[in-house]
């Protein structure tokens, strides 16, 4: 996973760490905005938080960079402490998941050419959606939850 200057990332011989923000928009029928990816059938829009940047500011920046639209974070849905393994790398991540709103017209694809998709929660449960740990918490205005997958015996809502 490549990173930019000032990303809150730590790479060590024993593993790596990321601080990330992710976000989604819900339509009037409860469908969830996701994007295609080379690593999964569907992923959330987001990326690394930068040093001296709040997670809310990071998700606003990520939507602007990836979609060219302005968004407003309106609700924290979840905070996840989870592990990601990709070929040759293991990452522990803290991800803050936001519900966002926009008055802008959404493009059909990201600046990288990944397609935007509106998916139902049921459909996300059937496909390779990453991070899968967040799928149950993708509901509008849901009370924030803490999700931790490093110790299966721990995890609760706030």
Task: Summarize pLDDT for 2-32 with one digit per residue, the tens.
Answer: 778 899 999 888 889 999 999 999 999 999 9
If one counts every other C-beta atom within 10 angstroms of the C-beta of residue 122, the result is: 7
- Which of 60, 38, 34, 31 shows the shortest CA–CA distance to 47? 60
First to last CA, the chain: 31
In order, the DSSP letters of 97-110 are EEEEE--SPPPSB-
pTM of the shown model: 0.89
Longest pairwise C-alpha distance within the chain: 46
What would the CATH number be for the domain defined by 9-140? 3.90.79.10
The residues facing 12 across adjacent strands are 15
Provide the pLDDT confidence category of residue 117 given band limits of 50, 70 and 90. very high
Residues 102/71, Cβ–Cβ less than 8 Å: yes
Give the domain ranges of the chain: 9-140
């Amino acid at each position: 996973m490549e990173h930019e200057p000032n990303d809150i990332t730590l790479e060590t011989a024993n593993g790596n760490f990321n601080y990330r923000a992710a976000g989604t928009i819900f339509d009037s029928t409860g469908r969830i905005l996701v994007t295609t990816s080379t690593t999964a059938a569907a992923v959330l829009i987001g990326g690394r938080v930068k040093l001296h940047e709040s997670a809310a500011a990071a998700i606003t920046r990520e939507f602007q960079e990836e979609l060219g639209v302005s968004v407003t974070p309106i609700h924290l849905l979840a905070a996840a402490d989870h592990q990601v393994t990709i070929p040759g790398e293991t990452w522990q991540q803290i991800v803050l998941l936001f519900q966002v709103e926009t008055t802008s017209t959404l493009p059909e694809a990201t600046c990288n050419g990944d397609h935007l998709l509106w998916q139902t929660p049921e459909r996300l449960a059937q496909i390779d959606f990453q991070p899968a740990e967040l799928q149950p918490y993708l509901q509008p205005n849901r009370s924030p939850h803490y999700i931790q997958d490093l110790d299966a015996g721990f995890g609760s809502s706030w």
